[in-house]
Amino acid sequence: MPQPRGELICSLTSLHSPKYYLFILIIIGNDVFFMAELPGFYYDPEKNRYFPIKGPIPGSSRSSSKLTTQKSPQTTLLTQERKSSCRKLRNSMSKLLQARELDGHVIASKSHSCKCNFTEEFRKIQASQPVVWKYRGTDGINFSALEQMHIDVQTEGGQYKTDVLLTGGMNGSLSFSEIGRIGQRFDGALEWTPHCVKNYVKRKADEQNEVPGPVYSPNSLLMSSSISCIRKCSSQAANDSPIVGHALFTTLGSETSGGSVYTISINEPLDLGPGILNTWSSIEEVASFKCTLWTAEHDYNRHRAVIGTNRGAASVDLETGTTSWFLRCKSDVFAQQIVNSGNVILCGLRNGAIVTVDFREKRERLSSRLIKHRIPYSSSNKKSGSSNKEWFELTGDIYPSHTIRMPRSISCLLSLQFDDQYFLASSMDGSMKLYDRRLLQRGAVQSYEGHVNSHTRIQLGVDPAERFVMSGGEDCSLRVWSIKSGELLFEDKFSDSVLSTVCFQTRKSSSHYAFGFKEENENQNKHQSSLGAWLGSRDGLFYMHWP
């Protein structure tokens, strides 16, 4: 009998030039096998194909991903070193410019012992030198959610476009606040004026800085309970640009009633006048629940809301209000993030688990029960007094191999848009990490040291270019890190309470929009076109911008 002949065949096939995919096949007799492990590639079992891991993985070249979160006796010294490094970064602008003159665009970095990109290093220095403004009149509002939108506004003087902040408070207050001042002044509107509380730009007087405009809040609506989440409902236009036609918000729920899902239509011009019915006539309650609503996301592919509750996660059709539960568990869903493909969603639980769930509605399963899974606890996640319980139970169409655990409850999840395989996660033990969904079992690809949290749901903020991530802490400080390197760029305290919510300015303003003013005010308030972020806390509303 002739023995089967083994052959190793390597083929380099061009599918989408200039990208190349590497396939290694082993042929034994008439059988063909794929090799499961290839350095630099990952295997997709559904497509039965290897794909290259897009790189470089942010921060993969640094050893910070191997750092543990265990506290050492040198914690105080490390904190001092972080603050010292932030100060050195702010003072290195002239040296960086000098290095560029000598070395060109690629310069030598003493801190990293390698060659660095001048533009990246320059932007890091800018991120370490913000100017912070606090708005008078916002003390005690206790902001719980923020979202900036660009809308049409109707007044007696005509129609115009402007930027507004849709803000929610812990007391249930909901308000459209106009940024800047264009058009007719509303009688009785609350005016929040900015004053500079921190200026980290060296050798630049406060009067030389660009001054953000005042914020006008004509009226507010009081809901039944705290506003837990606000999201813009975007759809894709023919040119792939987002179109915002609705705003989605949820109420948390109280001891006497559960939370609800609401929408506000902004397709038509809004009347922000003093009459309550003028502003809120387009508000609609889509669905109400007998449970706590912690968070929500908008699935623009199917125009539905995806909510996280104390009983699991569900999708809500925004047209009909029909609710479909796709995850049931006894641990609260504190955080969610839809992967851009629209097929799966990441759910962060109170017990520290992050599970990947397929939340598409499958016709053959509409009448059947959800699949039951048992997920093992890690030793650090076992609760005291429950040593015999080594697993937790949940039902849904989840991917057990894509389940990871952080030391404490999940505070926030945030997917990166440039490649939705990457997502940021923060835990209520102060851990902040960057993960790659293709390499979850290998752990985080980057860690961000210095975050302070023990029990608070704190929102992460990422700038539109996805270079930096920021977060408030329970020590009332704000910190900014480089997403790619994990380097702490900024750390300081300018609020007396936790900065728990953040909203980046999503586009540059123009002289007629967000930070535009009447001609007579142009000398007092300069046109603002730099990167900025809104920050909300119990202490009030802040605006931070970079030159």
- Judged by average pLDDT, the poorest of 12-16, 236-240, 278-282, 321-325 is 12-16
Identify the band that residue 286 occupies on the pLDDT scale cut at 50, 70 and 90. very high
Distance CA 118, CA 141 (A): 42
Compute the mean pLDDT over every residue in the chain, rounded to the nearest whole number.
Answer: 76
By three-state DSSP, how is residue 23 classified? strand
Q: Where are the alpha helices (DSSP H) in 91-135?
A: 93-103, 118-127
By C-alpha distance, which of 547, 500, 509, 541 is closest to 528?
A: 509
| Residue 297 bridge partners (DSSP) | 306
The model carries a pTM of 0.77
Distance CA 292, CA 311 (A): 8
In the chain, residues under CATH classification 2.130.10.10 are 131-545
Model confidence at 81: pLDDT above 80: no
More confident residue, 61 or 193: 193
> What is the reported pLDDT for 530?
55
Across the range 263-272, mean pLDDT stands at 86
More confident residue, 315 or 506: 315
What letter represents residue 301's amino acid? N
List the structure tokens of 345: 């969603």
List the structure tokens of 356: 């990947």
Q: Which residue has the tokens 């509605």?
A: 361
Across the range 252-279, mean pLDDT stands at 84
Q: Which residue has the tokens 């599918």?
A: 15
> What is the reported pLDDT for 58?
55
Distance CA 452, CA 433 (A): 13
Strand ranges across the sheet with 422-427: 410-415, 422-427, 432-436, 446-447
Model confidence at 365: pLDDT above 50: no
Identify the band that residue 318 occupies on the pLDDT scale cut at 50, 70 and 90. very high
131-545 folds as Methylamine Dehydrogenase; Chain H (2.130.10)
Distance CA 153, CA 162 (A): 7
Which percentage of the chain shows pLDDT scores above 90?
Answer: 42
> What is the reported pLDDT for 521?
40
More confident residue, 490 or 75: 490
Give 209-245 pLDDT, tens digit per residue.
567 888 888 778 999 999 999 998 876 554 455 556 7
- Judged by average pLDDT, the poorest of 47-61, 151-165, 191-205, 235-249 is 47-61
Across the range 120-140, mean pLDDT stands at 89
Identify the band that residue 100 occupies on the pLDDT scale cut at 50, 70 and 90. low
